[in-house]
Amino acid sequence: MTERIEITETSVPALPRGVKLRFDKQRDQWVLLAPERLFVLDSIALEIVKRCKGEANIDEIADDLATSFSAPKDVVMKDVIALLQDLTDKRILTA
């Protein structure tokens, strides 16, 4: 039986089979393609989702983003967890 996944600093997020990150050239945007769904990613969401490869954990992803975009890590961390918890609850992310 499936249980709800809670995203924490130590979670290692990944896109499961059946969820694909793709550039949509006709509409000039990045999208996540999922069962019967299409999520248009803004530039921040894209940077987060790109890092969900089943390798880095949330803490490392937040570190990386904070450095790359010169932003305070605690703020970044909050955004990352909020987005990824939402995607997890929609069953298009695993951790």
Partner 1 sequence: MTSQPSGSEPSGTPPGFPLAILAELTHRCPLQCPYCSNPVALEAASAELDTDTWLRAIEEVAELGALQIHFSGGEPTSRKDLETLIRKANEVGLYSNLITAGVLVGEDRLSSLADAGLDHVQLSFQDSEAAGCDRIGGFKGGFEKKLEFAKSVNALDLPLTANMVVHRQNLANLETMLELAVELTARRVEIAHVQYYGWAYVNRAALMPTRAQLERATEIVEEARERLKGILVIDYVVPDYYAKRPKSCMGGWGQQFLNISPAGKVLPCHAAESITSLSFDRFPDKSLREIWETSDAFLAYRGTDWMPEPCRSCDRREIDWGGCRCQAFAITGAADNVDPACALSPEHELLQALAQEDSHAGSDDFLYRTRRTGLELQDA
Residues interacting with partner 1, by CB under 8 A?
A: 1-5, 16-20, 22, 24, 26-27, 31, 33-40, 88-91
Q: How far apart are the C-alpha atoms of 55 and 61, rounded to whole Å?
A: 10
Q: What's the closest the beta carbon of residue 89 comes to partner 1, in angstroms? A: 4
Query: Which is nearer to partner 1, 76 or 95 (by Cβ)?
Result: 95
Query: Which is nearer to partner 1, 21 or 56 (by Cβ)?
Result: 21
Q: What's the closest the beta carbon of residue 85 comes to partner 1, in angstroms? A: 9
Q: What's the closest the beta carbon of residue 69 comes to partner 1, in angstroms? A: 26
